[in-house]
Amino acid sequence: MTTAAVIGGGVIGGGWVARFLLNGWDVNVFDPDPEAAGKIGAVLDNARRSLPGVLDVALPPEGHLRFHNSIADAVADVNWVQESVSERLDLKQQTLAQIQSACRADAVVGSSTSGFKPSDLQLGAARPGQIMVCHPFNPVYLLPLVEVVTPETCCPVIVERALELLRGIGMHPLHLRREIDGHVADRLLEAIWREALWLVKDGIATTGEIDDAIRLGFGLRWAQMGLFETYRIAGGEGGMAHFLTQFGPALNWPWSKLTDVPELTDTLVARIAEQSDAQSGAHTIQELERRRDTNLVALLRALKAQDHGAGAVLAAQERQMRQGQMLGQRTEGIEDPAAPVLTLRRVVPLDWTDYNGHMTEAKYLQAFGDATDRFMELIGCDADYIASGRSYFTAETHIRHLDEVHAGTMLEVRTRVLGGGGKKMHLWHEMRAGGAVVATGEHFLLHVSLETRRPSDPSEAIDRALRRFVAAQSDMPKPAGAGRAIGPPR
């Protein structure tokens, strides 16, 4: 069991707690704020609502959360310490000194600082090589990017362990071996922020109009391609070289005010606050957080389906988790064919629900289809077999909806074989939530040649594996509802 200590339970610290905890780590927290537990609890509520549904496999069992009265108690014997106190260099140095006086010498000590260099944090430290920058982005439990800044003063062994652990919890460590104030992402954000302040100050655009320019335009491109790849496309067949030749001269035009900052006078602050209130003041912060998380889940799931951008990080995590689960399930499923096989275990994501607030009809079919795919893998009809030109096609499906299923519900599907052999396979899926059957799916499939698209005999190995299930489950009572059809009205 991997353990972490989070020192400072604000927005970023709470996000780290959620990221660690929901990925199965035990987490210790120290924060002198008497309301820290409540604030972290609110972050966890948002994370539990959104993060499990980003993946199509179940996260590991949630770790244990403990609050401590001192830094020393919190950091004792943990694998990872994440410092997330206020952005004051003296406070961070004092906190890191207290951490190092009590933590293990081989523990990762990461700082969430958005601007300070590791060399600043390491000044006067007992073990400078243990301290590195691990700067995440809010919400930490959903966004995969974490800037890991490790100059030569950092211990290579601890750095490699940190990178491995971060990847294991679904994050993408952007590893920077040269340090600079503000790292990379915040320097880019700062440039846009300065320009935006000038646009408001000069009366060119309101806060809402600036946000529309980002979220309805280039922000969507950046979410899946970033900056340079987007401009490479803008260069056409000539690529980046053509783009720079065509648009490079514009960099000399006096558009930007990046080197100048508008003075945040009372008038400008009031104007920005007034426009922001008009734009978003009708919603509470929690409502905005939940809207943000719901939108992020939908975007991340869409990118995951394409294995691109931030979705590629999630897809890699999902493949690793699925592979670990499949190893155990393959042995269990093949060696014990007399029992229904666990073919699906996952959480219902936010975008699987409809206007009635429960899972859509199409998603029941998707869940049962995924369970069928899993059973096909168990008997040997895997990606390699399908690539050889053979597979199963579903010929008939009957689904019964027995109870409601809502976002965040943990689903399990167990599969029986009602019949099969040769070209035919007859499956029965039972979907359970909290132990109760909420839906059933009955599916009749035919083995086909992908070349002719016609029924064909399977391989001997697959036929043998399928018949083992048929024989082992033949004495089980017929499931309630099996063979049922919607008849004519009475």
Q: Binding-site residues for NAD(+), please?
A: 8-13
DSSP string, 98-112: HHHTTS-TTSEEEE-
> Residue 402 and residue 436: Cα distance in Å, rounded?
10
Residue list, annotated binding site: 8-13
Residues in the chain: 490
Cβ-defined contacts of 133-136 (< 8 Å, 24+): 133/179, 133/183, 134/82, 134/108, 134/110, 134/162, 134/166, 134/173, 135/111, 135/183, 135/185, 135/186, 136/12, 136/15, 136/16, 136/19, 136/112, 136/171
Q: Which residue has the tokens 């499949």?
A: 326
What element of type H or E holds 221?
A: helix 219-225
Closest CA to 44 of 23, 58, 72, 60: 23
Contact predicate 412/432, CB 8 Å: yes
Phi, psi of 141 (to 5 degrees): -75, -15
CB 65 within 8 A of CB 58: no
CB 32 within 8 A of CB 64: no
CA distances from 313 to 49, 169, 170, 308 (A): 20, 10, 7, 8
Nearest to 124, CA basis, from 157, 101, 149: 101
Q: Which two tokens stand for residue 105?
A: 């010498």
Instruction: Return phi, psi of residue 294, to 5°.
Output: -60, -45
Provide the token pair at 343: 């073919």
Sequential DSSP letters for 340-387: -EEEEEEEPPGGGB-TTSSB-HHHHHHHHHHHHHHHHHHTT--HHHHH
What are residue 347's phi and psi, to 5 degrees? -100, 145
